[in-house]
Amino acid sequence: MEMSEPFLPAVARSQPRAPAPVARLRPAQPRGVPAPMPLDEFARLGALERMRVLDTTREEAYDRVVLLATAHFRAPIGLVTLVDEDRSWIKASAGLAAAQFGRSVSFCAHAIAGRETLVITDARKDPRFATNPLVAEEPRIVFYAGHPLEAATGERVGTLSLMDTEPRDFGPDDCRQLAAFAAIVSDALQFRVERESHRTLIEDYALARRERQIDSLTRLWSERAMGDILARERTRALRLRSPLSLIAVDLDGFRRFQEVRGQGAGDELLREVARRLRRTLRAYDFLGRVGGDEFRAVICHANRDESQLIAQRMLRVVAGAGSGNADEIESLTASVGVASCHFGKQRHGPTALVHAAGEALERARATGGNRTVSVELAE
């Protein structure tokens, strides 16, 4: 339940000649003494924010401590409360259905001002709380004992508290026992920070890894990723005793195209070639950009003849990708090298496939380009 500040009517700008008698104005009711602001308030709110616990759903770890504490002390109400900038938000509770209180009326806002347990044996007799709506109205709190919850860096972010509608004593031993229960909650909150930090680190690493695995220009797999993919697919081919091929594609005359059309046109050409090459592959093949204008494809479960057919399709889709100004440059073509092996017969490693595909590509270039050269690794 959110406790709001008293409503004060606005004063009219133009005063009547005969002002209303003062006796008709209803004075605002006092709301108790506000809690002092902690000297480390900025750092305290930062520590609370890092916990990422505000406005989360109920969790058994915190409910369990509250139930144990209320049973141990025979208290009708127990709360795990976190003191935010303008509210005291309840993470776990027993005996009270409220979700939060305004910070201005919160007992816990007073409790975080010190490091010891705050004990109010009878709030009706305490000038700080006697007119507090939580005391004067429902739920009519009379007794309060709250021990601060600490972040790993020492900031007091909330309390584990006990409440009763009757006055009661709470001695030094009780304070020590409540502090022990509070330490369990503090540990759980600190573990939450470590868990969130670890998860963030994993997510950041995964994002960075994905960024290194994806070519930023064409959104194909990067050279690093293609090496990982080839190694993985080689292992799979060994297990399944199936063929595997690697196709290397290089654009003929790309440097000339870029000199004539400019960097922007060259980048757009590479993106268009990437789109066209992707359409020549099957759903379970892999395509990457491994250099300026060089592409590479891992062709799974395909022998030399099948891979050669894919390479021929690549030649056809690349042709004309840069057309539009035939008077400025010649039509775009490609050189393609194909290396294949059957892992049911021999066990060449990924490096051997890369080397063989590179040699085949060089042979295609050396013979004028716009052609494919394929090789099969010997047994």
Q: Give the per-residue pLDDT at 88.
A: 94
Q: Which two tokens stand for residue 298?
A: 């891992």
Q: Which of 288, 295, 289, 297 is nearest to 339 (CA)?
A: 297
5 to 38, 133, 139: CA distances (angstroms): 21, 10, 17
Angle between helices 223-240 and 350-366 (to 10 degrees): 120
Say which CATH topology domain 31-197 has.
Beta-Lactamase (3.30.450)
Give ∠ CA 315-276-274 in degrees, rounded to 5: 105
Q: To which residue do tokens 């008293």 refer?
A: 6
CB 292 within 8 A of CB 325: no
CB 303 within 8 A of CB 243: yes
Q: Which of 147, 227, 153, 218 is nearest to 183 (CA)?
A: 147
Q: Within a 10 A sphere around the Cβ of 181, how many other Cβ atoms?
A: 21
pTM: 0.51
Angle between helices 41-51 and 172-213 (to 10 degrees): 60
What does each of the 379 residues of the chain score in pLDDT, given as a tens digit?
A: 334 333 333 333 334 434 433 333 333 344 667 788 888 898 899 889 888 899 999 999 999 999 999 999 999 999 999 999 999 999 999 999 889 989 999 999 999 999 999 999 999 999 999 999 999 999 999 999 999 999 988 999 999 999 999 999 999 999 999 999 999 999 999 888 888 777 877 877 777 777 788 898 999 999 989 999 999 998 888 887 888 999 999 999 888 888 888 999 999 999 999 999 999 998 889 999 998 899 999 998 888 899 999 999 999 998 867 555 444 445 789 999 999 988 765 667 889 999 999 999 999 999 988 999 999 887 6
Task: For domain 223-376, give the CATH number.
Answer: 3.30.70.270
Hey, is 211 helix, strand or coil?
helix
Q: Which two tokens stand for residue 117?
A: 């347990």
CB 72 within 8 A of CB 110: no
> Domain extents for the chain?
31-197, 223-376
Q: Give the per-residue pLDDT at 32.
A: 66
CB 319 within 8 A of CB 269: no
Residues 6+ apart with CB under 8 A from 326: none
